[in-house]
Structure 1
Amino acid sequence: MTAGRILVVEDDATLGMSLQQRLVLEGFAVRWARSASEAHAALKDAAPDIILSDIRLPDGDGETIMRQHFARFGLVPVIFMTAYGDIDQAVRLVRDGAVDYVSKPFDLDGLVETLHGISRRKSSGSEIGTAFSGSSAMRKIGATLLRAAEIDLPVLLLGETGTGKEVAARYVHEAGSRRNLPFVPVNCGALPADLADSLLFGHERGSFTGASGLHRGFFEEAEGGTLFLDEIGDLSPILQVKLLRVLETREFRRLGGSETRSFGARIVCATNKDLKAMVTDGLFREDLWFRINVIACKLPPLRDRGEELASLLDDIASAAAARLGYSGVIVDETAYDAAKRHSWPGNIRELINRVDRAIAMGDGRALPEAALFPEGPVQTDTGIDGSLDVNATLSEVRDAAERAHIKAALARADGSPKDAAESLGVSRTTLWEKMRRLNIGPNNS
């Protein structure tokens, strides 16, 4: 088993040969490109795990190679070899995504150790990275997250509810150097106003009524690991100020305490909201947004992952069957077809819930459309079963789409209008009015 694939881009024959020989002895699979054109050709064949490149080349430069590769595959570890006069450019490239740079002449043993370290971190993240291997888009996201794991900077995960933001956060944690330290998830939208300070910062005994003992908060529990702040857009203005203070000073105090404690964890944040718009509307602090929006990654909704849907359905069904003691469940073609037509407003979370329910309530042998969508045939904005009425008005098409979306929300909420309204972002009164207008009965009929 190789230590990884390295593309060496170096026009100096002596240095290039020396690097190739040493890295092969160290267990790497090495491809040596002597020019920018050779490097571009090599990158079309197979994506390397690491790129080791000179900045100045006879027919181009390493910066262009890096940026074009990032555009195709996402962030991939890149180390630049540079002469003294190019150090300013090398520093700028590190800010733009490169792992590091070494100045010629450099310590080859030190460089080899750095390359092995990158390879080990990539290998540790291989299993949890399977969630990001189903399509070219997800592989690109996985590469970006893996690169983020190697850089000790805040990560901001964006995407709709249910797209797997916590999975991505755990991937960043497990693939990085902090993987053996705590991963502490916090739902910012669920922090009770009267207990938020205590939950986040901890408290000393007697600091308030009912504080009968010492309590370590989330900031302290994270130690040197990862603090995952989910739904950061729901953080109250007061807590936004306090979080900003911790990020700026890397210090905090327990409630009622006088001792200043260090905060050594990395921050990963997630939200399904448009933070930039919230900043414009005065609902989110701009300075906090700048602090957490360093490495941003947007996870696509399930409806945009059509090429993965069949394999996801198979994998989730197999896992559910195994948990319930079934030898295997065959997904029916009708279920595949219906899954492709469905808009999946709840994304991966909805897919898992639907499959789990279908397997649990089924015969343990097959998964048909009726089990996956017990509320009835899938409706899309083109009508029942995907058929398009070319004579439909825009109003009719809109109503059909809204009706299907509401019925799906009710199904996910097990018929609870309260929970469905919350997931749809409307009041119960508004939901009831839409159900009346669209002729949706209380039993989702």
Structure 2
Amino acid sequence: MTAGRILVVEDDATLGQSLQQRLVLEGYTVRWARSAAEADSALKGVAPDIILSDIRLPDGDGETIMRRHFERFGLVPVIFMTAYGDIDQAVRLVRDGAVDYVSKPFDLDELVETLHSISRRKSSSAQIGAAFAGSQAMRKIGATLLRAAEIDLPVLILGETGTGKEVAARYVHEAGPRKKLPFIPVNCGALPAELADSLLFGHERGSFTGATGVHRGFFEEADGGTLFLDEIGDLSPVLQVKLLRVLETREFRRLGGSETRKFAARLVCATNRDLGAMVAEGQFREDLWFRINVIACKLPPLRERQEELPSLLESFASAAAARLGHGRIVVDEAAYEAAKRHRWPGNIRELINRVDRAVALGDGKALFEADLFPEGLVQMPTDLGGSAGANATLSDVRNAAERAHIKAALARADGSAKEAAESLGVSRTTLWEKMRRLNIGPDDT
């Protein structure tokens, strides 16, 4: 099994051969087209998973190739390469369906990582339906989402970080009548304050310093598809007002523009925060909450889905082994038992990361407990009293629990204090102070 099929469209013999050789080594099945005509012929056969194309070709252009393929088979990830790039062209290509744009000369390692990321997302999308079939609780949620997909009303997906809220949002999109239209994910917590208006609503040329061209925002890119606002609880008060206005009028304007545009997309929101409590504390607008909280669905954390762990471990381990070119891999019984005892604070995301690391660094034939938990298994909180000593004080037990949880977070983040602090919801300064107080050193991770 390969990492996927890639069509490389490049007339430069040196670059084309280099890309083909590297991508084959990375596990991809590569078809190299040296012209627009060859690319068109290749696309009449087995459809690729990804298209990597030059913009300018001897007998045509990459944009035309992309549009023709979209007309025949629907959207497929496209990355354009060009030596004639500018920001306006990049925006237009992404607007028309491309997922990325690189200017020659580019960093091949970074491009390969982007391709791997796309392949992982496609693999996850192929398993979206299966994600809601592993237990009675998930089957019930899947049925709710399936019904929601048929009803054109806002959906609110709740759940802890890593429980698969974006997977649920994509399921709603792909199970409904808008599945062939764009799915635009937006992380509200990552919107830079100074660029938020432009990113969401777009801007006109000259609307601010540096606005050299027209830019379509996320609301416009979503077109008639689905706009997924992840971490909606992190949306600033100002943007909450603007979002409410769009939902009430189904209209918006680009920054610096005078033309009113229609918002025709379906809205799906997600958060790991308690919006009801935020409303009571005045941190989230009640009228906006009522607007988005029409069909609500809460995803259970992984620790409450123990019956799914064996099948999830097998599935993720097999997928990781296939990507790395390994053969069949088995999961040791002790690894299953250890997974059941772990609390999985990072949920599905943590499970995938642990399995990927275990398969990559293991022997390629079996996945053992030590591969899955190289830092040692962190026991459930009910067992921490024993680990701290039978006569331990409450303070001792609390410190033992905090120390174990921080060590686990650092292990999940491969020792990165920044990522660990983010997963724990504290600043890096606070994390360093706790590590000093609890005597956690670099060797402990």
The TM-score, its normalising length taken from structure 2, stands at: 0.69
Matches within 5 A, 1:42-441: 128-383=128-383, 392-441=392-441
Q: Deviations over 1:84-140 (max 9, x none)?
A: xxxxxxxxxxxxxxxxxxxxxxxxxxxxxxxxxxxxxxxxx9963210110000011
Cα-to-partner distance string for 1:296-343 (whole Å, 9 max, x where unaligned): 101011111111111101110011001111111111122111111111
Deviation string, structure 1 residues 23-65 (Cα, Å, up to 9, x no partner): xxxxxxxxxxxxxxxxxxxxxxxxxxxxxxxxxxxxxxxxxxx
- 2:443 alignment partner, SS class: coil
Q: CA deviation at 1:281?
A: 1.2
Deviation at 1:167, TM superposition (A): 0.1
Count of residue pairs brought into register by the alignment: 321
TM-superposed deviation, 1:393: 4.7
Give 1:441 deviation, angstroms: 1.7
Tell me the amino acid that sits aligned with residue 327 of structure 1.
G
SS of structure 2 residue aligned to 1:297 = strand
- Comparing 273-282 with 162-171, greater Cα deviation is found at 273-282
| CA 219–386 in structure 1, closer or farther in 2 if over 3 Å, else same | farther
**Distance 1:349-1:139 versus aligned 2 partners, 3 A rule:** same
Distance in 2 of aligned mates of 1:324 and 1:202: 40
For residues 212-239 of structure 1, give each alpha carbon's deviation from its aligned partner in whole angstroms, at most 9, with x where no partner exists. 1111110000011100000001111111
Quick one: distance in 1 between partners of 2:177 and 2:199? 26
Structure 2's unaligned 5+ residue stretches are: 1-124
Structure 1 residue 394, shift from structure 2 partner: 4.1
Secondary structure in 2 matching 1:252: strand
Cα contact 2:157–2:271 (8 A) shared by 1 = yes
Q: 8 Å contact 1:129–1:171 — kept in the other structure?
A: yes
Q: Distance in 2 between matches of 1:394 and 1:143?
A: 44
**CA displacement 1:171-222 (0-9 Å, x = unmatched):** 0000111111110000101111111111101111111111111111100000
CA–CA distance in structure 2, aligned partners of residues 174 and 182 of structure 1: 10
Identical positions, percent: 82
Tell me by how many angstroms 1:270 deviates.
0.4
Give the whole-Å Cα distance in 1 for the aligned partners of 2:388 and 2:299.
Answer: 30
Say if 1:381 and 1:400, in contact at 8 Å, map to a contact too: no
8 Å contact 1:141–1:299 — kept in the other structure?
yes
Provide the rounded CA distance (Å) in 2 between the counterparts of 1:395 and 1:210. Answer: 55
Distance 1:318 1:384 in 2: 33
Determine if contact 2:385/2:397 at 8 Å carries over to the other structure: no
SS at match of 2:259: coil
Query: Displacement, 1:142?
Result: 0.5
Q: How far, CA to CA, are the matches of 1:224 and 1:356 in structure 2?
A: 36
Give SS of 1:261's match: strand
In 1, Cα distance between equivalents of 2:201 and 2:377? 50
Hey, what's the Cα distance between the residues in 2 that align with 1:126 and 1:149? Answer: 17
Q: How far is the alpha carbon of 1:429 from its aligned partner?
A: 2.9
**8 Å CA contact retained: 2:378, 2:408:** no
Q: Structure 1 386/225 Cα, relative in aligned 2: closer, same or farther at 3 Å?
A: farther
Deviation larger for 398-407 or 157-166: 398-407
Tell me, in whole angstroms, the C-alpha distance in 1 between the residues paired with 2:418 and 2:127. 38
C-alpha distance in 2 between matches for 1:255 and 1:161: 32
Structure 1 partner of 2:83: none
Aligned amino acid, residue 333 of structure 1 = E
* Structure 1 residues 385 and 318, CA gap change in structure 2 (3 angstroms): farther
TM-score, normalising length: structure 1 = 0.69
Shift of 1:383: 4.0
What are structure 1's unaligned runs of at least 5 residues?
A: 1-124
Q: Higher relative contact order at CA 8 Å, sep ≥6: structure 1 or structure 2?
A: 2
Q: 1:174 to 1:385 in 2, by over 3 A?
A: farther
Name the SS for the 1:443 alignment partner. Answer: helix
One-letter code aligned to 1:315: S
- Deviation at 1:438? 2.8
